Amino acid sequence: MQATGTHEEHNLFYRIWNNKDARAVFIQIITVMIMLGFFAFLIRNAALNLEALGKTFGFEFLGQIAGYDINQTMIEFDSRDTHLRAYFVGLLNTLLVAFMSVVAASILGFIFGVLRLSSNWLVSRLVYVYIEYARNVPLLLHILLIHGVLLGVLPRARQALNFNDSVFLSNRGLYMPSPVFEDGAIYPAIMFIIAIIASVWFYRYAKKLQADTGKILPVFSIVAGMLIILPVITFYLAGSPLSWDVPALKGLNFKGGVAIKPELLSLWLSLSLYTTCFIAEIVRAGILAISWGQSEAAYALGLRPNRTMQLIVIPQALRVIVPPLTSQYLNVVKNSSLALIIGYMDVVATIGGISLNQTGREMECMIIVLSTYLSISLLISAFMNWYNKRTKLVER
């Protein structure tokens, strides 16, 4: 009887293993159990090590006074604020330089990618030389080179480059007037939001009209007019509720206005120019992936080269460009952590650097930094995946 029971159990296991769905579930369960066991081992090992060092695990240190200053801030901060506020300052600095770099690299990468295919030999060769130089030199060297050039070439604050007595450029940074909003400034802002909503609606209407009748409306001119003219008219009707805080030289540096420090300029230029060459090659590959017959057919219908590129080539090339472009955007965010080298206070330099050294909370600080970069990357990936679905081919 025991042998018969063992044989039946063996046959039952054999039937489950040969069932595709059951086997997939079984493998997933085993994989999850192994992963949970691995993480449990790491957590237990970390707890034992902390206990041996006489340390506890917790994030209460975030409420303690930071005791250090940050040179570039988007919100108010001084040494009497907490480590938690220092983290948010570093996070905003990371998001700022990442956003600026993504925008600049996307624009320049698209332009350079098109110029690489230019029939003008000199233009295409110059772009080719730049791309080969930029992408074959480590990003860290780009950052150090541009930072050194900005500090060494730009004049001191007293001899700063003066643009209309309102914008000043020196080795202390770029100082520009900052807007001071007064009573009534809300009305132009509301009109601008309304103009954005109207522009989106008009763009969709023009696109549908073109698909149904073939009639092409001047979308760019009308949208630009709504986004610019309507808020400007509202601004003047509201009594021009805006003034400017102009920077002025006081002592050894400028006071007032908004300042872009050399560290931010260096990191922004380095990330942008470095990532540009990779995006340019992605754009070039996407354009070359579209059959030349598409362009020839458009020329035969009387479309000009620029309209052919805009209406025929680019919409199809986006299906090839967007997936690898996502990786470049993620690289920009992760590469921004090199800011620590030149003293730009991002999330790594604040909570993962000075706060870590002051509090001795290595594990907690690293968990915060890792979770921050993971969250930003997942958000970028989710957005780009959504956009990729919008641009992919739709089967009929």
pTM, whole model, 2 decimals? 0.79
Over residues 345-382, the pLDDT tens digits come to: 889 989 988 888 888 888 888 889 999 999 999 999 99
Domain span at residue 209 reads: 178-245
Asked whether residue 386 is domain-assigned, the answer is yes
Asked whether residue 66 is domain-assigned, the answer is no
| Same domain flag for 309 and 224 | no
| Same domain flag for 363 and 318 | yes
Please report the pLDDT score of residue 393 as a whole number: 57
Asked whether residue 87 is domain-assigned, the answer is yes
| Same domain flag for 221 and 323 | no
Please report the pLDDT score of residue 10 as a whole number: 58
Question: How many independent structural domains does the chain possess?
Answer: 3
Reference 389, options 319, 293, 285; nearest CA is: 319
Amino acid sitting at position 278: F
Asked whether residue 68 is domain-assigned, the answer is no
User: Sign (positive/negative) of CA torsion 230, 231, 233, 237?
Assistant: positive
Asked whether residue 349 is domain-assigned, the answer is yes
| Same domain flag for 132 and 271 | yes
| Same domain flag for 241 and 271 | no
Q: Which residues of 68-93 are buried (b: 16+ CB within 10 A; e: fewer)?
A: bebebbeeebeeebbbbbbbbbbbbb
> How many whole angstroms separate alpha carbon 295 and alpha carbon 285?
16
Asked whether residue 272 is domain-assigned, the answer is yes
| Same domain flag for 236 and 295 | no
> How many whole angstroms separate alpha carbon 187 and alpha carbon 233?
11
Amino acid sitting at position 269: L
Asked whether residue 60 is domain-assigned, the answer is no
| Same domain flag for 235 and 274 | no
Per-residue pLDDT of the chain (396 residues; tens, 9 = 90+): 455 555 555 566 667 667 777 777 778 888 889 988 888 887 777 777 777 777 777 788 888 888 888 888 888 888 888 999 999 999 999 999 999 999 999 999 999 998 888 888 898 899 999 999 988 999 999 999 998 888 888 888 888 888 887 888 888 888 888 888 888 788 888 888 998 998 889 888 888 888 888 787 888 888 888 888 888 888 888 888 878 888 888 877 788 778 888 889 999 999 999 999 999 999 998 888 888 877 778 778 777 877 777 777 888 888 888 888 999 999 999 999 998 888 888 899 899 888 888 888 888 888 899 999 999 999 999 998 888 887 765 554
Per the structure block, which two tokens stand in for 192? 């601008």
| Same domain flag for 280 and 239 | no
Q: How far is CA 214 from the centre of its chain?
A: 37
| Same domain flag for 35 and 122 | no
| Same domain flag for 328 and 278 | yes
> How many whole angstroms separate alpha carbon 264 and alpha carbon 147?
9
Could you tell me the CATH number of the domain that includes residue 96? Answer: 1.10.3720.10
Q: Is 179 helix (H, G, I), strand (E, B) or coil?
A: strand
Per the structure block, which two tokens stand in for 108? 């320049």
| Same domain flag for 342 and 273 | yes
Please report the pLDDT score of residue 1 as a whole number: 47
Asked whether residue 235 is domain-assigned, the answer is yes
User: Sign (positive/negative) of CA torsion 319, 323, 326, 327?
Assistant: negative
| Same domain flag for 275 and 311 | yes
> How many whole angstroms separate alpha carbon 377 and alpha carbon 371?
10
Please report the pLDDT score of residue 96 as a whole number: 92
Over residues 118-161, the pLDDT tens digits come to: 888 898 899 999 999 988 999 999 999 998 888 888 888 888 88
